[in-house]
Amino acid sequence: MPAREFCGVVGISLQGKGAAPYLFRGLRALQHRGQESAGIVTSSHGIFYQRRGMGLVHEIFGQELLDTLRGPVGVGHVRYSTTGTSDLENAQPILVKVRDQDAAIAHNGDIVNFERIRHRLQAQGVELLGNADTETMAQTIALEYGRTRDFDAAIRRACTELVGGYAVVFLVGSKVYGFRDPLGIRPLVLGTLEGGVAVASESVAIELMGGKTLRDLAPGEIVVLDKGQIIHTSSIPNSGERAHCMFEWVYFSRPDSVVERQPVYDVRYRIGQRLARESPAEGDLVVPVPDSARPQGLGFSATSGIPYAEGLIKNRFVERTFILPDQKRRESEVRVKLHPVPGLLRDKRIVLLDDSIVRGTTLREIVGMVRAAGATRVDVRVGCPPIRAPCYFGIDMKERKELVAHDRDESQVAAAIGADSVHYLSIAGLVESIGLRSEDLCLGCLTGKYPVEVPEERHRFQKSLAEF
């Protein structure tokens, strides 16, 4: 089963201005969500202009190229490959035909029943060009549009078949459709720009485009943008339940973003405070693994009284290792990415703060680095409970055997990564730090109980797919 897409999307509709420069800035703000490929599609008077490439946003889009992407409306995407292979064929946005109209779709998330829907489409004679679930989603909507001739209704009907977590921007003619899965697993926010409107995966993208965030789209909400305005909203049928991905606050979102009205920085700071109370440590310095564990480290230091120190310096021109497309590259990049401050860690007991442990390979390298810098003790504190089960909705955690905490307790994890001790935040502590109810969060990778039915996995409320 495919399971691992985590990306960033942007959709823009302006009055008269060119959309490409705004899309470029929005995608750069979301670069942390995907560093493998990027793409932009714009539309001017029904003519589409497209550019996709492998690499970082600023490497692909120079000013001369941006000038060729004409039109006041468009969509953009940054990709960290998961469902589908790592090549230009599966870079997004992808172009499709919706009957007689050109369209372009970009998607963040994963469709659990991707293979079943793909086989059904092929049986109906639909030719699929790639192997990503984004195209499958687009063709499902296109089939429904052929029946209804109403694009909004086609999205609603198609999404009753699509099981999983997703946030989508769909450019059809001159209109941008933005929508989320009915449980709100993947994030999507709505905002205003000078002379227009936009949707994006994170609030920071809208703000760094010079705009203002209005609100999160509601789970299952469809918003239609045209001529620089919000012209329509509707909803995909849903049960009213919520399952926002906890990993947005723990790791993926930028600390200056706000997710479901909860500032990410504040959540991470509270995580550090709670962790210091749950799992105190005796140490000389609190050292965070940069960048995402900095707020946790500050919170832990403030509560424990142990001084905070930037003991590891990050090379800002190296990719986020967790979202690199293969394990060998993740391991080889750690020592290029981080370097200890000379002398700072020598003869010190270090409390090392990390946001989460997934496979443990990266943290093992970091612990070894801290010891090599002269630390006499390394106690690891983790701002996320043990990840024991796969994610099927958009994070690269697809097999239990890859997860260091799957069949190990804390002492065994400590031995595996070379630390003197490891303690994780509790699930209750995480929920309290986020500030939402546990039943409104997706905690499937922590509990093994999922918000929708996944083959051979447990459902958190044991309900059928028909109820979503």
In the residue annotation, 7 being an active-site residue is answered as: yes
Residue 438, CB-side half-sphere exposure with 13 Å CA sphere:
15
Q: For residues 445 and 392, give the distance between their C-alpha atoms in angstroms, rounded to a whole number.
A: 9
Q: Taking each helix axis as running N to C, give the angle between helix 114-123 and helix 133-148, from 0 to 180 degrees, rounded to the nearest 10.
A: 50
CA 458, 460, 461, 465 torsion: positive or negative?
negative
Which stretch of DSSP H or E encloses residue 26? helix 20-29
HSE of 245 in the Cβ direction (CA atoms, 13 Å)? Answer: 28
d(CA 283, CA 379): 8
Helix (H, G, I), strand (E, B) or coil at 271: helix
Closest CA to 73 of 202, 204, 228, 188: 228
Phi-psi region of 173 (alpha: psi -120 to 50; beta: other; left: phi over 0): left
| Cis amide bond preceding 216, omega within 30 | no
Strands 189-193 and 212-216 come out as: antiparallel
Closest CA to 52 of 33, 73, 27, 30: 27
Residue 316: partners with Cβ closer than 8 Å, 6 or more residues away: none
Q: How far apart are CA 27 and CA 204, in angstroms?
A: 10
Token representation of residue 138:
């687009």
Q: Look-up: residue for tokens 């064929």?
A: 89
Cis peptide before 93 (omega within 30 of 0): yes
Other Cβ atoms closer than 10 A to 256: 14
CA angle 313, 314, 316 (to 5 degrees): 140
The catalytically annotated residue of 7, 159, 391, 442 is: 7
Q: How far apart are CA 185 and CA 157, in angstroms?
A: 19
- Residue 305 falls in which region: left (phi positive, over 0), alpha (psi -120 to 50) or beta: left
Q: Which active-site residues does the annotation give?
A: 7
